[in-house]
Amino acid sequence: MSQEIRRNMALFPIGIVMKLTDLTARQIRYYEEQGLIKPARNKGNQRIFSLNDIDRLLEIKALIDQGVNIAGIKAIYENKKAPEANIVPAENENKNKKRDLTDKEVHDLLKRELLHGLSKEKVSLIQGELTRFFRN
DNA sequence: CTTCTCACA
DNA sequence: TGTGAGAA
């Protein structure tokens, strides 16, 4: 179902993810190095994260706050499932499919899956990014 | 200005 | 984990 595709669609640069998760770029890159997340890369080699990555980052942050170390977190995820690779939104192909996801759908999707526990500011950040993405 | 990699008093 | 250099 397209709903699944959307969750793994890489859309956010590390700057946005930093604000969204309250993690430093150093930490985010380190977690990737440890195989905890699998952000995609754009043509400029910059990491682009999906909603799944952000969710996982938030989970990792919570686990660390609870005193779990990286090894422990790795074990937790390894016993479950490896993070799925992100879907890289095509640069040109995007223009033709931009309206595949309407603003209302984006809003509903976020409200249903990501807004739990996030501040209004962060929600706005996410929506702003999505809006910018689908506007181009 | 933002992000990337790599190295380290 | 932080920080700064040098490049893109």
User: How many other C-beta atoms can be found within 10 angstroms of the C-beta atom of residue A123?
Assistant: 16
Domain carrying residue A15: 3-81
Average confidence (pLDDT) per 10 residues, chain A, 136 residues: 60 90 94 92 91 89 90 82 64 52 64 66 78 70
pLDDT given for residue A136 in this prediction? 62
- Nucleotides in chain C near protein beta carbons (<7 Å): 1-3, 8
A56/B4 CA-to-C1' distance in Å: 22
In a domain, residue A86? The reply is no
Distance A67 CA to B1 C1' (A): 36
Number of domains in chain A: 1
Q: How high is the pLDDT of residue A20?
A: 87
Residue A110 located in a structural domain = no
Share of chain A above pLDDT 90, in %: 24
Q: Considering the domain boundaries, does residue A124 fall inside one?
A: no
Whether A49 and A11 have beta carbons less than 8 Å apart is answered as yes
Residue at A21 is within a domain:
yes
Look up the pTM and report it.
Answer: 0.79
pLDDT in tens, A89-127: 665 444 545 555 566 666 666 666 666 666 777 778 777
- Assigned domain for A75 exists: yes
- The pLDDT, as a whole number, for residue A133 is 73
Residue A125 in domain: no
Tell me how crowded residue A48 is: count the other CB atoms within 10 A of its CB. Answer: 21
Domain assignment present for residue A127? The answer is no
